[in-house]
Amino acid sequence: MPEIGLNHFLVLSAILFSLGLFGIMTRRNAVVVLMGVELILNAANLNLVAFSKFNGTMSGVMFSMFGIILAAAEAAVALAIVLNIYARFKTVDIGEIDTMRE
């Protein structure tokens, strides 16, 4: 059995990031797009915590905590915006909301 090193966690984080990016690029539902953003933030947090452990410093853990707080604030505001978009356009399809483009 190979020993679990830093690279294992970095690869997992890269996969998580790519899946989040894929979700943001392809999904049309605004709520699911926000879930993709959460996946990307999670990938960043995993990176920070892994670096913190294998480097022996506190900074990574601290910054990942700030990242979690940021994600909470972002989710609250973004979902309020989605609620408003639904009230205004009666849809959350981000392809249909193109008022600013016209």
Partner 1 sequence: METVSFILFSFLGALVMVGSIGTVWSRNPVTSALFLVLNFFALGGIYLLLEAQFIAVVQVIVYAGAIMVLFLFTIMLLNLDDEQALKEKFDLQKGFGILLGGVLLVEVLYILGLKINLPQKSTTLTPVEIGEAKNIGRELITNFLFPFEIVSILLLLAVVGAIVLAKKNFSPNT
Supply the minimum distance, in Å, between the C-beta of residue 43 and partner 1: 9
Q: Which of residues 37-66 bind partner 1 (CB under 8 A)?
A: 38-39, 42, 45-46, 49-58, 61-62, 64-66
Rule CB under 8 A: say whether 36 interacts with partner 1: yes
Rule CB under 8 A: say whether 97 interacts with partner 1: no
Read out DSSP for 33-94?
HHHHHHHHHHHHHHHHHHHHHHHT-SHHHHHHHHHHHHHHHHHHHHHHHHHHHHHHHS--BT
Q: Which of residues 3-32 bind partner 1 (CB under 8 A)?
A: 3-4, 6-12, 14-29, 31-32
Give φ, ψ of 57 to 5 degrees: -125, 165
